[in-house]
Chain A
Amino acid sequence: MRLTRRAALTATAAISLPRFAIAQGDQRPSITVAVQKISNSNTFETPREQSNVGYRVYSNYAETLIESAWRDQLKPVPGLATAWRRIDDRTVEFDLREGVRFHDGTVMTAEDVAFSFGPRLFGAETLGPRQPPSEVIATGRRTFPAIEGMEIVRPGVVRFVNKTPDVTLEGRIQQNIGIVVSRRAFEAAPNWLAWGRAPIGTGPYRIAGFRPDVELVLEAHDEYWGGRPPARRIRFLEVPEVASRMNGLLSGEFDFACDIPPDQIATIERNRRYEVLGSPINNIRILAFDKTHPVLADARVRRAMTHAIDRTAIVEALWSGRTRVPKGLQLEFYGPMFVEGWDNPRFDPDEARRLLREVGYRGDPIPYRLLNNYYTNQVSNAQIMVEMWKAVGLNVEIQMVENWNQIQDRATPRGIRDWSNTSLFNDPVSGLVRGMGPRGELQLQGEWTNEAFNIEVTVLETSLDRARRRAAFRRMLEIIEREDPGYLVLHQAATFTAKRRDIRWSASHGWAMDFRADNLAFGA
């Protein structure tokens, strides 16, 4: 057949015009979200970017088998799996959602799921330059310490098999490390860094561009199984200064401004076109004790410290009541594992004084290593607490330091430090055990340990008997929050996001910002 110029032009027009028409017809708005930080590691592969800022963006470009209900206490809900069931105490079976397409247009298969829980996390010789960095493999092993593998039962059905019994498998799989990615796209990437900067997932938006420390551009993935995304484009812009984020919002350049300090909320809301949303999230601010310090070695001094703090007053003063004091290091979304009736040591200055008299405390200084507002309101909070401790006779000395290394430096005696604890899924294993268990930072750093506590950790991690696990968790709280305090609970963390009032959007109960169709709409 002879191809004439006219025929070629006609064919070109036939191919390009409908696409042009689609592009012209896409009237969906684009939004700009100003954030303090986009990614700590400058990558978006979740096992590498294990941070709160990574959690903020990931759910827009990738999904897990079991999703978290971001606006409903992070409850486990169907994600890329429509259903799951326990086969035995080591095995969970998943029915995969049909017709899910990756951003590269391919359909998600059981092989992709097996790959995502296999070589992607733990590496393989065949991956060549795509071999994940050692820290990715370490994070994979830490999250799934006894994984045997993800077995393909038949097309559309996979089984996560563990070597040991574990009641928390579903929770572990629900974490963002368990996103499902396209095996084909991974294998086509030139190297791991290129992959890590633009992983191909199934989320409502695909990564269209990333300039490190500058911006992340997401574009609508119109073949998304959950419906056409409401925004054509989402641009996360890195604006380190809070004043600049606020100015950009108020001048109309940004549609959202994240990480707003509580004391700036009123300033923004004075302009009726904007509002600030936010609520307590799945992260609890605590204060960790180093019981190897000579003064803190006696548990009664630590107990006195817990009784001297008026948490409610702090929440009112520094957070305008916009967050809450949890009932110990646990959250209601633990469901049946939540210990009803448990609470923090009451605010009781007299009891604190009595304990200190009993110990014979003579005002020896207790060092309090402090970062400059790594956590919101951190310094003000510390100053208030030092005064509260002073009121009962405790001599706590603030030592300002610059980074976590200096916080954990053992060259000079450590006393107390600020910290936080995130529950990544609805079980105490994800919070208390992860932070304070034998493999948790508190014990690894040599700040605190307790044999009886560690015995209960084993029960909590391995027992399949819910009543026994509940009893173990309660006993752990008794030990670490009362008998031999390892930390002091302050309040739940909260994040605040300022936005245009005419955009309908709700903040989540976690770090994530959800821009799916059921949580983003434009116009009054």
Chain B
Amino acid sequence: MLRYFLSRLLRAVLTIVAVVTFAFVVLRLSGDPALLIMSVDAPPEAVEAFRAAWGLDRPVWEQYLRYFVQVAQGNLGQSMRDGRPALTVVMERVPETLALTLPAFAMKLLIGIPAGIYAALNRNRLADRLTMVISVAGFTVPSFVLALILVLIFAVNLGWLPSGGAESWRHAILPVITLGLSGAAILARFTRSAMLEVLGQPYIRAASAKGLPWRRVVTDHALPNAAIPTVTIIGFMVGSLVAGAVVVESVFSWPGVGRLLVVAVSNRDLAIVQTILLLVAMTMVCANLIVDMLYGWIDPRLRTARAAGG
């Protein structure tokens, strides 16, 4: 078991190094932060002074080495836009994003999983088809389109909710619904597929044949077995809690990590982008580890196999 977790940890570290390197190369080779941050109207002398101050006049490989050593020492650098520590700037925004993504995550689970189960248990009936039509619509309509439709209905025409901003809980309603609906649609489809596959298995027929009430067949036999693919998707969703609302935050002018990422990428504010990517990578890695542990808990066969392997 220990060897298993150590190998996962090593893979996680390599993933993070790859992410940091890739982001550095792409960002630095596709634009000069000095020109982007200082604006094209700034005097050339000011742009040069900025480059010198931030070491952007040095070779790219040297900049990378410096950055890497710095990160290895636990220093994520400073924002080139305003000189503040990148971690401080990013962490200021994390609660704002979580204020959207956590309720949206709960909404995805509370709507998506029951809807998927309900559709599977009513396969090919009107309820199933209706659920799937709504699910496909939620899955395929881009989130910025859904967001604008919701704003037009509930803010512009009905005047019930604000169209954007982050002043109160009312401002969070439309972005949460936008995020929640599309995620719920995905979960509903996956849950339905998983349930349908499980419901067709011989052990379900055997449980029914034993005379178990259908409700218990579903809760005790079908649901645990259908949980593995669903948990995998939920794992991805947990991983995107920190920066999974880029588009929605832009449309609703929500000052979260997603908007910060957009601004930082367009300004090539490397330290900020890298800090966000590190945060996302670490969240993903943690989510994957948790999912792996859940697999073992849900499926005893995996637990036994891992124990046998070490």
A-to-B contact residues, CB < 8 Å: 40-43, 50-52, 133-139, 141-143, 193, 197, 211-214, 237-241, 243-244, 247-248, 250-253, 402-406, 408, 422, 439, 441, 444
Asked whether A51 lies within 8 Å of B250 as measured between CB atoms, the reply is: no
Closest to A424 in B: B41
| Residues on the B chain within 8 Å of A135, using CB | 38, 42, 46-47, 49-50, 53
| Residues on the A chain within 8 Å of B49, using CB | 133-135, 137-138
Asked whether B41 lies within 8 Å of A243 as measured between CB atoms, the reply is: no
Closest to A213 in B: B263
Known: A134-B53, A135-B46. A244 touches B253 (CB 8 A): yes
Q: Bound complex: CA of A248 vs CA of B155, how far in Å?
A: 8
Complex partner residue of A42 from B46, B82, B152, B155, CB under 8 angstroms:
B82
Closest to A142 in B: B43
Asked whether B44 lies within 8 Å of A50 as measured between CB atoms, the reply is: no
Complex partner residue of B43 from A139, A213, A252, CB under 8 angstroms:
A139
The stretch of B29-37, B198-206, B211-219 in contact with A is B29-37
Closest to B36 in A: A403
Asked whether B260 lies within 8 Å of A213 as measured between CB atoms, the reply is: yes
Closest to B48 in A: A138
Known: A252-B159, A253-B163, A406-B30. A241 touches B40 (CB 8 A): no
Closest to A55 in B: B41
| Residues on the B chain within 8 Å of A193, using CB | 82-84
Closest to B32 in A: A405
Complex partner residue of A50 from B46, B156, B166, B262, CB under 8 angstroms:
B46
Does B148 lie at the interface of the complex (its beta carbon under 8 Å from any beta carbon of A)? Answer: yes
Known: A52-B41, A141-B45. A241 touches B250 (CB 8 A): yes
Asked whether B259 lies within 8 Å of A134 as measured between CB atoms, the reply is: no
Known: A50-B43, A138-B45. A405 touches B35 (CB 8 A): yes
Complex partner residue of A43 from B32, B82, B166, CB under 8 angstroms:
B82
B-to-A contact residues, CB < 8 Å: 30-32, 35-50, 52-53, 81-84, 89, 148, 151-152, 155-156, 159, 162-166, 250-253, 255, 259-260, 262-263, 266-268
Q: Bound complex: CA of A396 vs CA of B164, how far in Å?
A: 42
The 3 residue pairs across chains A and B that have the minimum distance between CB atoms: A134-B49, A142-B43, A138-B46
Q: Bound complex: CA of A346 vs CA of B258, how far in Å?
A: 48
Q: Bound complex: CA of A42 vs CA of B155, how far in Å?
A: 30
Q: Bound complex: CA of A139 vs CA of B39, how far in Å?
A: 13
Q: Bound complex: CA of A207 vs CA of B223, how far in Å?
A: 58
Complex partner residue of B253 from A143, A240, A405, A441, CB under 8 angstroms:
A240
| Residues on the B chain within 8 Å of A239, using CB | 164, 253
| Residues on the A chain within 8 Å of B165, using CB | 237, 248, 253
Asked whether B82 lies within 8 Å of A212 as measured between CB atoms, the reply is: yes
Asked whether B39 lies within 8 Å of A40 as measured between CB atoms, the reply is: yes
| Residues on the A chain within 8 Å of B45, using CB | 138-139, 141-142
Closest to B247 in A: A241
Q: Bound complex: CA of A136 vs CA of B42, how far in Å?
A: 10
Asked whether B163 lies within 8 Å of A248 as measured between CB atoms, the reply is: yes
Asked whether B53 lies within 8 Å of A444 as measured between CB atoms, the reply is: no
B49, B84, B159: which has the most chain A beta carbons within 10 Å? B49
Output the least CB separation between A55 and chain B (Å).
10
Closest to B152 in A: A247
Given pairs A40-B81, A41-B37, A135-B46, 10 additional interface contacts (CB within 8 A): A40-B39, A41-B81, A135-B38, A135-B42, A135-B50, A240-B259, A244-B164, A244-B251, A248-B163, A251-B151
Q: Bound complex: CA of A487 vs CA of B277, how far in Å?
A: 42
Between A and B, 23 residue pairs with Cβ closer than 8 Å are: A43-B82, A50-B43, A133-B83, A135-B38, A135-B49, A135-B50, A138-B46, A139-B46, A142-B45, A213-B259, A213-B263, A237-B253, A239-B164, A241-B253, A244-B151, A244-B253, A247-B163, A248-B162, A251-B162, A402-B30, A403-B35, A404-B36, A404-B40
Q: Bound complex: CA of A213 vs CA of B92, how far in Å?
A: 12
| Residues on the B chain within 8 Å of A41, using CB | 37-38, 81-82
Known: A138-B46, A252-B159, A441-B44. A244 touches B252 (CB 8 A): yes
A141, A143, A240: which has the most chain B beta carbons within 10 Å? A240
Q: Bound complex: CA of A143 vs CA of B42, how far in Å?
A: 11
Asked whether A404 lies within 8 Å of B35 as measured between CB atoms, the reply is: yes
Q: Bound complex: CA of A141 vs CA of B52, how far in Å?
A: 17
| Residues on the A chain within 8 Å of B48, using CB | 138
Known: A135-B42, A247-B151, A422-B41. A42 touches B81 (CB 8 A): yes
Output the least CB separation between B81 and chain A (Å).
5
Closest to B38 in A: A135
Q: Bound complex: CA of A253 vs CA of B166, how far in Å?
A: 12
Complex partner residue of B163 from A50, A133, A197, A244, CB under 8 angstroms:
A244
Output the least CB separation between B304 and chain A (Å).
51
| Residues on the A chain within 8 Å of B251, using CB | 241, 243-244
| Residues on the A chain within 8 Å of B148, using CB | 243, 247
Output the least CB separation between A510 and chain B (Å).
13
Closest to B159 in A: A251
| Residues on the A chain within 8 Å of B252, using CB | 244
| Residues on the A chain within 8 Å of B38, using CB | 40-41, 50, 135
Q: Bound complex: CA of A441 vs CA of B42, how far in Å?
A: 10
Q: Bound complex: CA of A212 vs CA of B47, how far in Å?
A: 22
Asked whether B163 lies within 8 Å of A138 as measured between CB atoms, the reply is: no
Q: Bound complex: CA of A50 vs CA of B39, how far in Å?
A: 8
Asked whether A403 lies within 8 Å of B82 as measured between CB atoms, the reply is: no
| Residues on the A chain within 8 Å of B89, using CB | 212
Q: Bound complex: CA of A139 vs CA of B40, how far in Å?
A: 13
| Residues on the B chain within 8 Å of A197, using CB | 82
Q: Bound complex: CA of A510 vs CA of B120, how far in Å?
A: 62
| Residues on the A chain within 8 Å of B253, using CB | 237-241, 244
Known: A138-B46, A138-B49. A213 touches B255 (CB 8 A): yes
Closest to A214 in B: B255
Output the least CB separation between A252 and chain B (Å).
7
Output the least CB separation between B273 and chain A (Å).
14
| Residues on the B chain within 8 Å of A247, using CB | 148, 151-152, 155-156, 163-164
Asked whether A250 lies within 8 Å of B156 as measured between CB atoms, the reply is: yes
Q: Bound complex: CA of A40 vs CA of B30, how far in Å?
A: 19
Closest to B47 in A: A135
Asked whether A444 lies within 8 Å of B44 as measured between CB atoms, the reply is: yes
Complex partner residue of B41 from A51, A241, A244, A406, CB under 8 angstroms:
A51
Q: Bound complex: CA of A214 vs CA of B260, how far in Å?
A: 10
| Residues on the B chain within 8 Å of A143, using CB | 43
Complex partner residue of B37 from A40, A136, A244, A252, CB under 8 angstroms:
A40
Q: Bound complex: CA of A41 vs CA of B83, how far in Å?
A: 10
| Residues on the A chain within 8 Å of B164, using CB | 239, 244, 247-248, 253
Known: A141-B45, A241-B250. A251 touches B84 (CB 8 A): no
Output the least CB separation between A393 and chain B (Å).
32
Output the least CB separation between A389 and chain B (Å).
25
Closest to A192 in B: B83
Output the least CB separation between B201 and chain A (Å).
48
Q: Bound complex: CA of A406 vs CA of B36, how far in Å?
A: 11
Output the least CB separation between A412 and chain B (Å).
15
Q: Bound complex: CA of A107 vs CA of B100, how far in Å?
A: 47
Asked whether B52 lies within 8 Å of A50 as measured between CB atoms, the reply is: no
Known: A137-B49, A253-B162, A403-B30. A50 touches B81 (CB 8 A): no
| Residues on the A chain within 8 Å of B162, using CB | 248, 251, 253
Known: A139-B46, A241-B250, A244-B252. A403 touches B41 (CB 8 A): no
| Residues on the B chain within 8 Å of A212, using CB | 82, 89
Q: Bound complex: CA of A42 vs CA of B84, how far in Å?
A: 11
